[in-house]
Structure 1
């Protein structure tokens, strides 16, 4: 079986590149001269791309990465110093950090520095693949700022209070191996293999029912907001994604394929 061809988007974007390979969307932050630091126009472009991904039933998984030698250096402080706006869309930094209704999985392929908002983008993804020479930090206090694009909340929830404060309150740099030991990095690979590894994880997801994946993500995310495990379990059948899964053709296709000893043919409906 031949793999699907990669189809680039028409060149309508200035600060981001988008490719689609079958049901996989690849989003590349494309300001390499600024280490992919983002300003208002770039935020809005990425937000629009992720809006399209979220709304497109043919797109099931996304990978976010950076052009050149960085993933994302956070806010474009040079642009800010020049008087430029750093306003963000309602969906947050990079159109992602305040996006709480996206049930499709997103993989961060961290090919280099993930600083400030770049780290926060990675933390907002479901899977983080890091190059072995990548670096993570929230250096905002060193320039008189605070990591207000969700990092101050996501990191403690991911790795615990003391470990998170050890990163947040010092602005220190964290290696990918330390990130993996702390729990916010899934895999560390040589730089040249970052996208290959990210695609491998995406392929594993694409072998699953897309509606089941969305239901699982919605249930897990919403459960974190419940005050107890008991209440999380009691409320897990109330989500729209689960209802969509139970009413779908794919819900019948999975058991049928198992009984017929063949690979399921997922339709996403």
Structure 2
């Protein structure tokens, strides 16, 4: 997975961001992404996710923190259900076109879903710390987008819901692994197969939220988290996040070996810096 932006690739234009229902503001080391389709309760489309992937590919190299939020008092109502109509969303492919009569190629559809997943995967990059600032409902794809982030800071009115099974679908936007990693298989089954709302306090108790605050305090709480991350050495933060990300899949022996390698790298870099300062 790429860990640095490609300076030769232009970022999405304001017009492209607008068509995708996204806002983007980059100020120094902080990028703020806003889901902005208030007329559809911030529901997202394929274009939203492919544009999110493009944002990830073109972020300036000095960005360290990415904050994802929704416009207004809702994070996201999830996928725009018009994607499942034969006509699809205006200007985008229908996700079901040709499936009923067999004219669609399942491999092509699987490839398209892989493209959409790229809009979620880059949020796990070790060189970034990603924060979901959640107000109101985060349903389906919105829940999965929040799960893609390193930290979830919730307003006390936030509610998570994995709606896909109730619609005859499965969660396919990278959300099943982090959900199981956080709450375990049995609780994940219960949350997904009942499609119930998980309120902010329960989300905190389950480990799905790092912090819950009154809605009016959410911006300040996010800013405090951003400031704390930026106060940490960038290279150490990157190495530490990489270690933590691989830990669930490593044995203890593999993980402590990874720790040794990472620490040798950090000590080497620190020693080189000290030598340069004395030169």
Tell me the equivalent position of 1:211. 235
Q: Which of 18, 33, 37 is 2:43 aligned to?
A: 37
String of CA shifts for 1:219-261, please: whole Å, max 9, x gaps. Answer: 11122221x222211133556x984x556579847xx9xxxxx
1:92 aligns with 2:111: no
The CA distance in 1 between the partners of 2:215 and 2:273, in whole Å, is 41
The alpha carbon displacement at 1:57 in A equals 2.3
1:123 aligns with 2:126: no
Aligned residues of 1:27 and 1:63 also touching (Cα < 8 A): yes
Task: Give the SS at the match of 2:14.
Answer: coil
The CA distance in 1 between the partners of 2:238 and 2:164, in whole Å, is 33
1:230 aligns with 2:233: no
String of CA shifts for 1:144-200, please: whole Å, max 9, x gaps. Answer: 111122222221111112222220121111001000000110111122222221111
Task: Give the SS at the match of 1:90.
Answer: helix
Aligned residues of 1:43 and 1:88 also touching (Cα < 8 A): no
Tell me the equivalent position of 1:62. 66
Tell me the equivalent position of 1:19. 25
TM-score (norm 1): 0.80
What pairs up with 1:69-84 in 2 under 5 angstroms?
69-81=73-85, 83-84=87-88
Which structure has the greater CA radius of gyration? 2
The alpha carbon displacement at 1:23 in A equals 1.0
Task: Give the SS at the match of 2:259.
Answer: coil
Aligned residues of 2:50 and 2:115 also touching (Cα < 8 A): no
The CA distance in 1 between the partners of 2:243 and 2:116, in whole Å, is 21
The CA distance in 2 between the partners of 1:163 and 1:151, in whole Å, is 14
Task: Give the SS at the match of 1:216.
Answer: helix
Unpaired segments ≥5 residues, structure 2: 1-11, 96-111
Tell me the equivalent position of 1:198. 222
CA RMSD of aligned residues (A): 2.6
Unpaired segments ≥5 residues, structure 1: 1-8, 257-269
TM-score (norm 2): 0.77
Moved more, 211-220 or 191-200: 191-200
Q: Assess, with a 3 A threshold, how the Cα gap between structure 1 residues 118 and 97 changes in structure 2: closer, same or farther.
A: farther
Aligned residues of 2:182 and 2:207 also touching (Cα < 8 A): yes
Q: Assess, with a 3 A threshold, how the Cα gap between structure 1 residues 216 and 29 changes in structure 2: closer, same or farther.
A: same
Tell me the equivalent position of 2:192. 168
Aligned length: 240
Aligned residues of 1:35 and 1:68 also touching (Cα < 8 A): no
Aligned residues of 1:62 and 1:105 also touching (Cα < 8 A): yes
- Structure 1 or 2: more helix by fraction: 2
Aligned residues of 1:108 and 1:127 also touching (Cα < 8 A): yes
The alpha carbon displacement at 1:10 in A equals 6.6
String of CA shifts for 1:52-109, please: whole Å, max 9, x gaps. Answer: 23xx22211110001122212221112432532354563616x114765443110000
